[in-house]
Chain A
Amino acid sequence: PPGTQESPAETNQSPGETNHSPPEPHESLAETHESEPKLCGFLLKQGGPLKAWKLRWFTYEDKKNQLFYYRTPQDVMPLGRIELCSATFTYPLKAEKGTFHIKTPERTFVLKAVTQELMLYWLQQLQVKRWQHRQMTTCPDSPSNNNSSSTAGENTTAESHHFLPLLKSPLGLVERKTQAEGIMVTLCRVQELVWILHKALEASQLEKRTCAEFLAETGEQERLELLRHRERQAADLRGQLEEVKAEAEVLRKGLAQREAQLSELQDDIRMLTEKNKAKQEVRTAGGQVASRILWFLTASHPQDDIEAYKTQNKFLNSEIYQLTGLWRTSSEQEKSLMMKCAFLEASNCQVESQYLSVLRQLQETKSLDPDQREAVQKMVEDALKRELKSVVKLRMARDHDEYGFKIIPDYEVEDMKLLAKIQALEIRSHNLLHQESIECPLLDRWAQYLAGRSDDDLCASPELKGLLRVGVPQEYRQRVWSWMVRARTRTIREHHPQCYQQLCEKSRTSAHPASRQIELDLHRTLTTNQHFCSPSSPALQQLRRILLAFSWRNPAIGYCQGLNRLAAIALLILQSEEDAFWCLVAVVEAIMPQDYYTKSLVASQADQRVLKDFLAEKLPRLAAHFDSHSIDVSLVTFNWFLVVFVESLPSDILLPLWDAFLYEGTKVIFRYALALFKYKEDDILKIHDSVEIYQYLRFFTKTISDGRRLIAIAFGDMNPFPRRLLRNRRALHLDRLQGELRELEEQQKEFVTERAERKDKELDTVASEDDEEL
């Protein structure tokens, strides 16, 4: 048939339908009060164990985005429904014409429309409905969003047109099946009528015969009378007969017409099955694509198949396009929800931390009566029992950062659990709120700075200094650190390029006296970090080699507790054993003052006195507070300096500190130490018990939530910080300390001689013990 040569995509109507207008009576059924026609009609649905086709009436329900199916259009109770919101649509070319699939997460519905065009119409309408429904539910409340997404939706439908033009007014198609059924019904009715007329005719003929018999028997007058009467009757009947005949003729004509239509339809069907058969032949003809293409070229209707594939292809493209659109809106929605959630969680954390602060203050209020006090205590206990993690888990709930450090540190404070929890909540809320807004601009600045620079080009400049003070983004940290380390160790490395390897070799062949202490500390290094927590982790082997190599390299220091932490940080960031070794060398030998880690740690102790001087100058109120409670801050701050805050500060503050430290040196440690006190000055001033102050000082560094503010204090509020002043003070205190040290050494010498004397006695006692046991 010539109709099939036309591409279905280019025509809105079936070829056989072109000269018929859509049947009027069905229009009312297919149209609702709204301007848009209601999507409904008959479809065959495959079902049951036999996979039989059953005729069902399908209607689309807007509100729930569902397709209901019924036995007949008049039924009230649907047989079932298909959820469209997460359904995908497709149609196979292999199957009978008009077959299409609706796949929901639960099952696949196999449906069949009478023609391919009708099927495409259904599929397109379902796509449109699915999209519209999504737009409706995505942003029903915010009008601005609604606008943007609806334009996006229009775009999508517009783009879909690009794939496959939307079929319009195919109602005739939808109704074609019903029409055929209608024809059959009228045909039956016509035959019935013909039969009734036939009977009527027979009856009148019988009457006529009896009349004639009667006429022969009676008188002239009566006979005439009767005859006239009968004649009249006969004429009537004849008229009736004529009428009936005409009517029958009309019906017969109608019947013929219908029959012609029917045969046309049957032709159509035959044609379709033929085509189908042909296509099945294509499938079976050969498994190879090449042979199939050959067949296409020689087959009787290759154009048909190509067109069919094109149409299917276009449809599938539109399906993919729309699904992508749906996915995109979903992920955008998810992202905005995540942000909302982060914001809510943050404010939740804030509220909880405020609540806990109130509880803390209540706990300290003296005027409470015992009942109230008990109630407060109970509330505190409940609050502490609540896990921090009970808050809705978000962002795949990262516990560790890129370097394997815990994002929220553990607080092993006994008496200050409440405060520790308040701090943890504050850190969390701060992280949730500020992470992105800070990271992005910083990343841009660094990207700009590093763009087009090779690593050797990096040269000291005020610009670099400024950038380092705010911290290097994680992406560039390794590169920048390795540059800074190289700059600080260049001469040694150029003189001995194989230095590290030789030192490693040396530590393999001979044992350094420090190796015992190194072994002791190795497994106790950064135990909360993911990369160091397992005894079998390769990082530990690397750390051992670095520390042993260093102990051979620097005999004056050998190994000092704390160097393990410095090397571990270097290893984590630089990701290279040798670079980490050189980083340790750079820190200990180039950055730190001499004798920071040697025998009696004099330079470290001197720095503690320098810090006290600075504290008295920059934070006089706090220094006086410490004095009045006889707090010796160096008990706490000594660690900070010796290991450059490793394990005292959370990693997101520690690493920016190191960024600046590797570039500017020890001044950075002083700046940060003072900034930490400044940051929490008000809190410390509120504590009036020396034990509590110590307890607070022990963990407060891990409670800093706003790293940016700390940086601003360190490099802003603490200015001016002249290098010369630091140098002079160091020299002064070192001198004093060394004097004290000499005195101590003399005493120690005394002790050694005394002990030597005592040792004889010890030998005596051991000997006598043995005697006793014998």
Chain B
Amino acid sequence: KMAIRELKVCLLGDTGVGKSSIVCRFVQDHFDHNISPTIGASFLTKTMPCGNELHKFLIWDTAGQERFHSLAPMYYRGSAAAVIVYDITKLDSFHTLKKWVKELKEHGPEDIVVAIAGNKNDLGDIREVPMKEAKEFAESIAAIFIETSARNAVNVEELFQKISKQIPPLENPEGDSNESFKLTRQPAPSTRRCC
């Protein structure tokens, strides 16, 4: 019997980069051109096998508009991983990504797995962010890097597989294997409350 681990993941990034589309592609394998903009946040789950475990992703998708950033701590608090998405055709979105990396470093959970996703790679001809630059940046902060296309279902599954692999396996596999183990953390008292 495989143990189920619940992994809280949050998606961060500028508005319109395709966060919700990535989640939608991953969870429902479906792409909607007019996906409703996320307000506040939305929540989806998907279970994926990883080694001899089942990873149940609890994906919090956040709103992108800057004024919603102050809500983000509610979402990345207790997260096992954060996916920071930028749009390869929007240089601005890459700058926002850097801001998120910094914020996670300062206020996020200590051993949070960070993944950087350069989305809309189907629009290569109007690319503004070179892949090399993004990749080097990711390496510099020891983050996962992948270019995705929610539209063409490119690398979306892989993104989450990479995250799965980075999650340290259960230390005590024979412990209580019947009960699902939760990797979500209670908010550390030191982390600042919302804002």
**Are A600 and B70 in contact, CB atoms less than 8 angstroms apart?**
yes
**Are A524 and B60 in contact, CB atoms less than 8 angstroms apart?**
no
Among residues 24 to 51 in chain B, which have CB atoms less than 8 Å away from a CB atom of chain A? 27-28, 32-37, 39-46
Output the least CB separation between A145 and chain B (Å).
Answer: 51
Output the least CB separation between B64 and chain A (Å).
Answer: 8
Select one of A520, A630, A751, A769 contacting B99, CB under 8 A.
A751
**Are A691 and B15 in contact, CB atoms less than 8 angstroms apart?**
no
Q: Please, how many angstroms separate the alpha-carbon atoms of A741 and B195 in the complex? A: 6
Known: A414-B46, A691-B45, A691-B56. A639 touches B67 (CB 8 A): no
With most chain B CB atoms within 10 A of its CB, the pick from A691, A743, A765 is A691
**Are A740 and B195 in contact, CB atoms less than 8 angstroms apart?**
yes
Q: Please, how many angstroms separate the alpha-carbon atoms of A741 and B73 in the complex? A: 13
Residues 585-606 of chain A: 1 if any B CB is under 8 Å from the residue's CB, otherwise 0? Answer: 0000000000001111100010
**Are A520 and B75 in contact, CB atoms less than 8 angstroms apart?**
no
Size of B's binding interface in residues, CB under 8 A: 47
**Are A561 and B42 in contact, CB atoms less than 8 angstroms apart?**
no
* Residues of A contacting B75 in the complex (Cβ-Cβ under 8 angstroms): 635
Output the least CB separation between B82 and chain A (Å).
Answer: 16
Known: A524-B36, A740-B192, A765-B133. A755 touches B45 (CB 8 A): no
Among residues 517 to 546 in chain A, which have CB atoms less than 8 Å away from a CB atom of chain B? 517, 520-521, 523-525, 527, 535
* Residues of B contacting A639 in the complex (Cβ-Cβ under 8 angstroms): 39-41
Output the least CB separation between B99 and chain A (Å).
Answer: 7
**Are A520 and B15 in contact, CB atoms less than 8 angstroms apart?**
yes
Which residue on chain B has the smallest CB distance to residue A698? B43
* Residues of A contacting B28 in the complex (Cβ-Cβ under 8 angstroms): 412, 414
Known: A524-B34, A560-B67, A740-B194. A638 touches B43 (CB 8 A): no
**Are A638 and B133 in contact, CB atoms less than 8 angstroms apart?**
no
Among residues 720 to 759 in chain A, which have CB atoms less than 8 Å away from a CB atom of chain B? 737, 740-741, 743-744, 747, 751, 754-755
Q: Please, how many angstroms separate the alpha-carbon atoms of A691 and B6 in the complex? A: 8
Asked if B98 is an interface residue, CB under 8 A from chain A, the answer is yes
Among residues 126 to 150 in chain B, which have CB atoms less than 8 Å away from a CB atom of chain A? 130, 132-133, 136
Residues 634-652 of chain A: 1 if any B CB is under 8 Å from the residue's CB, otherwise 0? Answer: 1110110011000100000
Asked if A343 is an interface residue, CB under 8 A from chain B, the answer is no
Which residue on chain B has the smallest CB distance to residue A557? B67
**Are B58 and A694 in contact, CB atoms less than 8 angstroms apart?**
yes
**Are A755 and B133 in contact, CB atoms less than 8 angstroms apart?**
no
Output the least CB separation between B106 and chain A (Å).
Answer: 8
Size of A's binding interface in residues, CB under 8 A: 49
Q: Please, how many angstroms separate the alpha-carbon atoms of A614 and B133 in the complex? A: 50
* Residues of A contacting B15 in the complex (Cβ-Cβ under 8 angstroms): 517, 520, 561
Known: A414-B27, A561-B15, A744-B192. A694 touches B67 (CB 8 A): no
Asked if A562 is an interface residue, CB under 8 A from chain B, the answer is yes
**Are B43 and A694 in contact, CB atoms less than 8 angstroms apart?**
yes
Residues 492-533 of chain A: 1 if any B CB is under 8 Å from the residue's CB, otherwise 0? Answer: 000000000000000000000000010011011101000000
Select one of A414, A527, A597 contacting B45, CB under 8 A.
A414
Asked if A347 is an interface residue, CB under 8 A from chain B, the answer is no
Asked if A475 is an interface residue, CB under 8 A from chain B, the answer is no
**Are B70 and A561 in contact, CB atoms less than 8 angstroms apart?**
no
Q: Please, how many angstroms separate the alpha-carbon atoms of A642 and B41 in the complex? A: 12
**Are A638 and B34 in contact, CB atoms less than 8 angstroms apart?**
no
**Are A751 and B102 in contact, CB atoms less than 8 angstroms apart?**
yes
Asked if B71 is an interface residue, CB under 8 A from chain A, the answer is yes
Q: Please, how many angstroms separate the alpha-carbon atoms of A561 and B71 in the complex? A: 14
**Are B193 and A740 in contact, CB atoms less than 8 angstroms apart?**
yes
* Residues of B contacting A690 in the complex (Cβ-Cβ under 8 angstroms): 182, 184
Asked if A415 is an interface residue, CB under 8 A from chain B, the answer is yes
Known: A414-B46, A695-B43, A766-B133. A598 touches B67 (CB 8 A): yes
Q: Please, how many angstroms separate the alpha-carbon atoms of A155 and B7 in the complex? A: 77
Known: A634-B74, A765-B133. A562 touches B39 (CB 8 A): yes
* Residues of B contacting A527 in the complex (Cβ-Cβ under 8 angstroms): 32, 34-36
* Residues of A contacting B67 in the complex (Cβ-Cβ under 8 angstroms): 560, 597-601
Which residue on chain A has the smallest CB distance to residue B132? A769
**Are A695 and B45 in contact, CB atoms less than 8 angstroms apart?**
yes
Which residue on chain A has the smallest CB distance to residue B41? A635
Asked if A632 is an interface residue, CB under 8 A from chain B, the answer is yes
**Are B43 and A520 in contact, CB atoms less than 8 angstroms apart?**
no
Which residue on chain A has the smallest CB distance to residue B180? A689
Output the least CB separation between B89 and chain A (Å).
Answer: 13
Supplied contacts A601-B71, A639-B41, A694-B43, 5 more A-B pairs, CB within 8 Å: A414-B28, A414-B46, A527-B35, A561-B15, A600-B70
- Supply 28 A–B pairs (Cβ within 8 Å), ascending by A: A412-B28, A414-B28, A414-B44, A517-B16, A517-B65, A521-B37, A523-B33, A523-B34, A525-B36, A535-B34, A561-B39, A561-B65, A598-B67, A600-B67, A600-B195, A635-B41, A636-B43, A638-B40, A639-B40, A642-B40, A647-B36, A690-B184, A691-B45, A740-B192, A740-B195, A743-B195, A744-B195, A765-B133
Pairs A-B, 8 closest by C-beta atoms: A638-B40, A639-B40, A600-B70, A740-B195, A561-B65, A520-B16, A562-B39, A527-B34
